[in-house]
Amino acid sequence: MDWKKPHHLYYGIILILLSIVLYVTRITRSPYLPVILLSIGVFLSVDDLIYHLTGIGLFSTLFGETYVAILTTFPEDQEASEIIHGLLNRKLIACGNRFPCKSLYWWEGTIEKSDEVYSLLKTPAKHVSKVIKFIKLHHSYEVPQIVVIPIKRGSKDYLGYLTRVTA
């Protein structure tokens, strides 16, 4: 079940109705079961309303797919291209962008300056460990920059695309 879609509204309504039936008929011995079912039903229904208004529901945030952007640098475009292609071919990322940058950083006690290629990779969070492992295995730097940033919000269509193409 894709909890990012509004299907859980129906489950919420069913649970609310079931809790009312259980309470009225006293079928269950537990006085708490109708209250628990009612609470879950209300939560799912309200969450669905929030999802329709904002594009993000609490239930889908807690239990649904989450996404990340991974930032990394390479010494040259050829290496960046090869690693991004490797990640794409394994369906570990949905998209990789590369662009030139000038970097200043500490390395072995001195400030270094170099031209690098900055890469932005987008993927579902479930692939992060494999992406990091792949980059470390194929990267020429001793300590490659790999920074993972959670995507808190985005176009529903684009986030769905990230899931589809990496499945």
Percent of the chain with pLDDT over 70: 72
Look-up of token digits 């269509």: 157
- Cα separation, 119 vs 71, in Å, equals 6
- Cα separation, 18 vs 112, in Å, equals 66
Looking at the predicted structure, is the pLDDT value of residue 3 above 50?
no
pTM value is 0.64
Neighbours of 61 (CB within 10 A): 16
**Average pLDDT, stretch 71-83?**
97
Percent of the chain with pLDDT over 90: 50
Where does residue 41 rank: exposed (0-12), middle (13-18), buried (19+ CB within 10 A)? buried
- Cα separation, 71 vs 145, in Å, equals 7
Tokens of 23: 């309470």
Q: Give the containing element (helix H, strand E) for 56.
A: none
Q: Which range has the worst mean pLDDT, 72-76, 137-141, 150-154, 159-163? A: 150-154
Looking at the predicted structure, is the pLDDT value of residue 2 above 50?
no
Q: Which of these CATH numbers, 3.40.50.1970, 3.30.70.120, 3.30.360.10, 3.40.718.10, describes 67-165?
A: 3.30.70.120
Tokens of 129: 């460990």
Look-up of token digits 């919000």: 153
- Cα separation, 117 vs 100, in Å, equals 4
Q: Which range has the worst mean pLDDT, 87-91, 112-116, 158-162? A: 158-162
pLDDT tens per residue across span 154-167: 888 888 899 899 98
